[in-house]
Amino acid sequence: MALKMDTKIPKERVGALIGKGGRIKEALEKLCNVLIEVDSETGQITVSTEDQTNIVGLTRVIDIVKAIGRGFSYERAKALLDEEYALYIIDLTDYAGKSESNLIRIKGRIIGAEGKARRIIEELTDTYISVYGHTVSIIGTIDDVKAAKEAIETLAQGSQHKTVYERLQKRRTRLKLERLQLWEKREKI
């Protein structure tokens, strides 16, 4: 009996999942020992495996499919093959309500002029961020995703960019000091 998982992605992202000549779909199938079925009309994706012990491969591919569906390139989404990495999706309608103009304003705050705000958050948290539709998606390690999530939610709630950047910079500095102290302790041993 095959293990199966389903998800749905926007129809306009199906091509990004399949890749030119089916290369991306084939690479994922080979890497994770799964079969990916794509319904181009609906965006419905079914991932299955005959290997009953391959639940990890199955869930990783589902996360990669979701990431591609939320606007990430395959190159960025495949970071999810690493067990240290996770995908987190924030629904901006939780902050904008039903107002399209609020949604556009919040997305603009998160992206920033020429993508500057998103790029700064990515750099300070070592994550990948995609703003697509009414969502913001984050790929990174659990702690980094948590920091990026807090920054994005704080911006969505109306905080100033400067405040968010300062908080992220303090976190980054603290982490560097902690790593340095660990390294120094190892040197003494």
What is 85-183's CATH number?
A: 3.30.1370.10
The pLDDT tens digits for 118-142 are 999 999 999 999 999 999 999 999 9
* CA dist., res. 14 & res. 98, Å (int): 27
> Across all residues in the chain, what is the average pLDDT?
93
pTM attached to this predicted model: 0.90
The pLDDT tens digits for 144-188 are 999 999 999 999 999 999 999 999 999 999 988 888 887 766 666
The pLDDT tens digits for 65-89 are 999 999 999 999 999 999 999 999 9
- Complete DSSP assignment for 68-92: HHTT--HHHHGGGGSTTEEEEEEET
What is 3-81's CATH number?
A: 3.30.1370.10
Residue 116 reports pLDDT greater than 70: yes
Report the pLDDT averaged over residues 112-121. 96
* CA dist., res. 94 & res. 156, Å (int): 9
Give the pLDDT of residue 178: 85
Question: Where exactly are the structural domains of the chain?
Answer: 3-81, 85-183
Report the pLDDT averaged over residues 11-28. 95
Q: Which 8-state DSSP code applies to residue 1?
A: -
Give the pLDDT of residue 2: 84
Q: Which 8-state DSSP code applies to residue 82?
A: S
Q: Produce one character per residue of 37-60: b if its CB has 16 or more CB atoms within 10 Å, e if not.
A: ebeeeebebbbbbeeeebeebbeb
